[in-house]
Structure 1
């Protein structure tokens, strides 16, 4: 008999082993490894829960959720973001994911208006499952992964420096202005900003830079996500299989992106925070960061985007890989699912 309960720290290594058995993605499948701390991803949130499904005391599935207050159409709405659904491949098609979903809904139904999650565009089994469970796709999004494979020149290093305590208020005001019209974005205070970034596992405030040209014109930080989760290539799409031997030959004579072999690890930094008053300043910060990533053998620096994000045009000048995913919502009460077709969506990197 399958039972669902709250996970404990004692479940850590069993969950890591289950995670290794459940590659993420279809065309590009990545094997996840959250050791030594499976719960590190969840620790990015203030109010989080990890559930496990067990059969004969063995963990055969897991899912997680966090409560979030989100601004939708100018109102503060109680939401739950769901993530980390995994089921033992030998026990799929037995309703385990549906049982985990049912437990989440039972736990939050009395005080939450909306549930939401994201699913990669090619993950048809998950799309079908959550659609049957009442979720609707509300937005098409993209993971923009900038490739760190060559030095970028010129970089206006004279105007780039680390953020200081004195910059926090200016950076917060810039973030609030930049994302003010984005659904889900909550206006920050300096205290909330510092609490947020000090709370991200393995994030260092020294990793936030500003572009200062008579005042702070752009900010950019990076979260070394390799310390939270490591990804290894399980399999990749046919295009990468064709390109890889070609790029190996071309790479003898020129700087080209690296396509990892099956089984090799992909290293990734997430871009956060990211905003600007001057796109040229943010472009310089991105070049500066990509040069640093190259020096430290990082493959990608990534940011999730709504397709209508003002960042899209700025990032378009860089060589990148783009992965599509959809944002899905379900209403638990009287509040209808919002129409986000013509609105911008703010995506927290911790949610990806």
Structure 2
């Protein structure tokens, strides 16, 4: 399967909206937001999202098939931390290297703006945990009942990867 990955801007907000809604519909237990809420948002909300965070999208034949984002706080005391969010790959592109390529892109970008990256992942999402461990993330805690989806609570592992080993 052939795909390309690029950071998108406001002019590609529709691609971001498309893959985000596919992700929220297809895997509601992996995201804090929900499809109903985000489906009602105007396209400008998604455009603003590309201004507030670095959004990377995987494309195959000009169609979005995966995404990942990096948010960096503008606060002086926490500006060294990036938060990876929204990693998702459509089922038919899983096991194709798309998720790893998205992580490579996010981490390469993160190295230019922060000193460490954090993320949260459902404790039972074995595929994602395996990927994050492969990329050097370590669990530093578990948030019980981080999400409440379809009548069940989902715990999340909180993970970190330091990008500047000499400063730990």
Normalised to the residue count of structure 1, the TM-score between the two structures is 0.39
Question: After the TM superposition, which parts of structure 1 deviate over 6 Å for at least 4 consecutive aligned residues?
Answer: none
Unaligned runs of 5+ in 2: none
Equivalent position to 1:36, from 36, 40, 49: 40
Cα deviation for residue 14 of structure 1 reads 2.5
- Please state if 1:18 is matched with 2:19: no
CA deviation map 1:268-315 (0-9, x unaligned): xxxxxxxxxxxxxxxxxxxxxxxxxxxxxxxxxxxxxxxxxxxxxxxx
Q: Say whether the 8 Å CA contact 1:6–1:49 is kept in structure 2.
A: yes
Structure with greater helix share of residues: 2
Counting only pairs closer than 5 Å after superposition, residues 335-350 of structure 1 correspond to structure 2 as 335-336=167-168
Greater relative contact order (Cα < 8 A, sep 6+): 1
Match of 1:9 in 2: 13
CA distance in 1, matches of 2:40, 2:134: 35
1:57 to 1:121, Cα distance in 2 relative to 1, 3 A = same
Cα deviation for residue 120 of structure 1 reads 1.0
Equivalent position to 1:325, from 141, 152, 156: 156
Q: Say whether the 8 Å CA contact 1:140–1:326 is kept in structure 2.
A: yes
1:84 to 1:39, Cα distance in 2 relative to 1, 3 A = farther
SS in 2 for 1:107: helix
Cα deviation for residue 13 of structure 1 reads 4.6
Structure showing greater radius of gyration is 1
CA distance in 1, matches of 2:167, 2:47: 27
What is the count of residue pairs matched by the alignment? Answer: 159
Cα deviation for residue 41 of structure 1 reads 8.1
State the superposition RMSD in angstroms.
Answer: 3.3
SS in 1 for 2:26: coil
Match of 1:90 in 2: 92
CA distance in 2, matches of 1:56, 1:46: 25
CA distance in 1, matches of 2:147, 2:34: 18
CA deviation map 1:38-90 (0-9, x unaligned): 7858968983122110111111101111112678xxx6551110111111111
CA distance in 1, matches of 2:146, 2:135: 29
Q: Say whether the 8 Å CA contact 2:110–2:117 is kept in structure 1.
A: no
CA distance in 2, matches of 1:108, 1:145: 26
Unaligned runs of 5+ in 1: 147-230, 234-258, 260-320, 337-352
Cα deviation for residue 103 of structure 1 reads 0.8
Counting only pairs closer than 5 Å after superposition, residues 88-167 of structure 1 correspond to structure 2 as 88-143=90-145
SS in 2 for 1:111: coil
CA distance in 2, matches of 1:14, 1:52: 11
CA distance in 1, matches of 2:5, 2:50: 22
